[in-house]
Amino acid sequence: MSLATILAAVAGAANSGGFFALGQYTSHMTGYLSQLADNLVLGNLWVSLIAVLALGAFITGAGFSTYLINWERLHSARRQYALPIALQGVFLLLFATGGVFTSELGRLFALCCLCFIMGMQNATITKISGARIRTTHATGMVTDIGIELGRAAVALSAPASGIRPDKSKLRILLTLVAAFLGGGVVGAVGFSEIGFWFALPLGLTLLGLAGPGLRLR
C-alpha cells in the first residue's frame, strides 16, 4: 500500500508537470483518443500525429513494463517489480533533460518520454495489485469510489440485500486519489517554478524505492 501511495503521488506530480512544461496531461489517454478523432476530422495532421505518438508511447510503456515483470518472474520472482520501477526513475531523469531542447522535436521527445513512463507505471501497479488499482488512471479510481459508495447506500437502505461496500478497497482508493491530488499540487508548484528539472527528484524517488530490490538481486 505504501508503494502504491508513493507511485500515485509521483504520477500526480508528473501529470501536472506534463501540463505546466508541455501543455498536456500525459496520463489522460481518453483525451488523446478524442484529440485524434477531432483533429483527423478537422485535418490538423500535426496535432493528430502528436496524439498518435502519445498513445503509442503510453501503450509501449505498458507493454515494456509487463515484459520486464514477467521476465523477472522467470528469473528472480522476489524482485520482479524493482527493475521496472527503477527504469521509470531513469526515464523521469531523461524527461528532465527535455527542457534542454527548445525545438518542437525536443518537446515532442519529452512528451513521449512522459507518456511512456505513465504507461509503465500504470502497468506496474496493475500487476502489483492484481488489476485492483491503477495509479495514473484517476477516472477509474473515482469511478470505483462511486461504486463502493453506491453499494454502501444499498446496504443502508436495504440491509437484507446482503450487498456491502468493500471498505478496504474504498480506503485504498481514497488514499490513492488523495496522493495523486497531493502529488499534483506539489508537481504544479515545482514544474511551474523550475520547469523540467523538477522531474529529477521524482526520478530519484523511484530509484530510491527500487534500490533495495536491485541490490539484493
pLDDT tens, position by position, 146-157: 999 999 999 888
How many domains does the chain divide into? 1
Average pLDDT over residues 116-141: 74
User: pTM for the full model?
Assistant: 0.79
| Residue 102 domain flag | yes
* Structure-model confidence comparison of residues 102 and 48, the more confident one: 48
| Residue 149 domain flag | no
Average pLDDT over residues 11-21: 78
pLDDT tens, position by position, 173-188: 888 889 888 988 998 8
Which amino acid type is present at position 170? L
| Residue 26 domain flag | yes
pLDDT tens, position by position, 55-80: 999 999 999 988 888 887 777 656 67
Q: Does residue 131 register a pLDDT over 60?
A: no
pLDDT tens, position by position, 86-98: 888 988 888 777 6
| Residue 150 domain flag | no
pLDDT tens, position by position, 22-32: 777 777 787 78
> For position 24, what pLDDT does the model report?
72
**Is the separation of the CB atoms in 134 and 125 below 8 Å?**
yes
Percent of the chain with pLDDT over 70: 87
Across the chain, mean pLDDT equals 82
Residues of the domain holding 120:
2-129+183-209
CB within 8 Å of 136: residues ≥ 6 apart: 11, 15, 27, 118, 121, 122
> For position 197, what pLDDT does the model report?
83
> For position 99, what pLDDT does the model report?
56
Which stretch of DSSP H or E encloses residue 101?
A: none
Q: Does residue 210 register a pLDDT over 60?
A: yes
Percent of the chain with pLDDT over 90: 12
| Residue 191 domain flag | yes
| Residue 161 domain flag | no
4 vs 140: CA distance, rounded Å: 15
Cell of 41: 476530422
| Residue 113 domain flag | yes
Residues 194, 55, 121, 6, Cα dihedral to 10°: 40
| Residue 157 domain flag | no
**Is the separation of the CB atoms in 165 and 151 below 8 Å?**
yes
* pLDDT band of 100, cuts 50, 70, 90: low
